[in-house]
Amino acid sequence: MELKKIINTKHQTIVAYTNYGVKFRNGIFYTKSFLVSPEIDPIFWSINKYNFLTKKDFIHISKFNPSVVILGTGNIQHFIHPKLTYILTQKNIGIECMNNQAACRTYNILVSDDIKAMLALILD
């Protein structure tokens, strides 16, 4: 699906996604899991299944100090146990779990509103 173009070009935004990957405005198509925020280029993330997530993954994400984390858990929405995400809530960082398509759309909306969101997308 192609997403509506967002005018603010200073941020990392998604222009298209499929069940197998995500295309950013720079034209690069990512087919492996990644982390991205408005100021940070996508960085590969070693997670390829939501049930492989550990506390260490969320500790790593918390170091970027986002306002909210949008966790795309694959083509199906899965919820993560609060024991794993406790570090985020302890630092007043919100977390929302959703399928990847919803996560991409939500991330773009938050970024267009200048919210410091981090997209953690699991592609398997």
* CB-based contacts of 97, cutoff 8 Å, min separation 6: 71, 73, 77, 78, 79, 80
Return the structure tokens found at 28: 């690069």
22 pLDDT higher than 70: yes
Query: What are the tens digits of pLDDT across the range 92-122?
Result: 999 999 999 999 999 999 999 999 999 999 9
pLDDT tens per residue, range 83-96: 999 999 999 999 99
Cβ contacts of 54-57, under 8 Å, gap ≥ 24 = 54/84, 55/83, 55/84, 55/86, 55/87, 57/84
Where are the domains positioned within the chain?
Answer: 14-121
Look at residue 109 in the predicted model and tell me its pLDDT: 96
Q: 14-121 architecture in CATH?
A: 3-Layer(aba) Sandwich (3.40)
- Rounded to the nearest angstrom, the gap between the alpha carbon of residue 83 and the centroid of all alpha carbons in its chain is 20
- The contacts of residue 90 (CB under 8 Å, 6+ apart) are none
